Chain A
Amino acid sequence: SQQGEEDPQALSIQEGENATMNCSYKTSINNLQWYRQNSGRGLVHLILIRSNEREKHSGRLRVTLDTSKKSSSLLITASRAADTASYFCATVRTNAGKSTFGDGTTLTVKP
């Protein structure tokens, strides 16, 4: 079974607005990663945050990690129509490096 759950399942916003997606997981982790997937193609890596980190930024992306609550959030600021995609979180629990994916959030940004 998937370790991660994401909410919302679907999010529709207007261009320029911010989008927040949440990810919860069940066991302790080494790191958590966020990915974007366009139209069922390959995944694009966005951000990796390690278990000893609380927040990371990359351009318009901000990721937080709360290990006490076993949750993470991805914030996309000033969204664009090109941000329309599915977003997945994935957790890595051991040095074996296997990723366990959440259910994903489908984001639609309307121009």
Chain B
Amino acid sequence: SAVISQKPSRDICQRGTSLTIQCQVDSQVTMMFWYRQQPGQSLTLIATANQGSEATYESGFVIDKFPISRPNLTFSTLTVSNMSPEDSSIYLCSVKDGGDTEAFFGQGTRLTVV
């Protein structure tokens, strides 16, 4: 199974600022995803991070708010831009090595916007 390092593990940020979350995998993986988990709720997919091209965003999420980079097969970043208190959530990186395989998750980034 892949080992995923996600940084930072938590942060408290001022509204209007931006935070970049990093996801580093110990091996090359085909697929990388970013999820949001709002307080007390389940996970919602933000986007699929595509290597060397623009991410594929789910309905309700846009690149200007959540820019994503994936320069290679082991690393991706998610930026939460112009934050508001409504962005307070856990953000999770997930990887898979094929559509029909299990997904592995990082430990998440707990973001609080004040």
Contacts and interface: CB of A to CB of B under 8 A. Distances in A.
User: Chain A, interface size: which category?
Assistant: 20 to 34
B31 interface: yes
Q: Which of B41, B92, B100 has the most CB of A within 10 A?
A: B100
A102 B42 contact: yes
Interface in B10-63: 30-31, 33, 37, 41-45, 48
Interface residues of B, number: 29
Contact of A96 (B1, B43, B99, B105): B99
Given A2-B44, A30-B100, A42-B108, 8 more contacts: A35-B105, A42-B107, A45-B104, A92-B100, A95-B99, A96-B99, A98-B48, A102-B42
Given A40-B108, A42-B106, A96 B100 contact: no
A97 B45 CA distance: 11
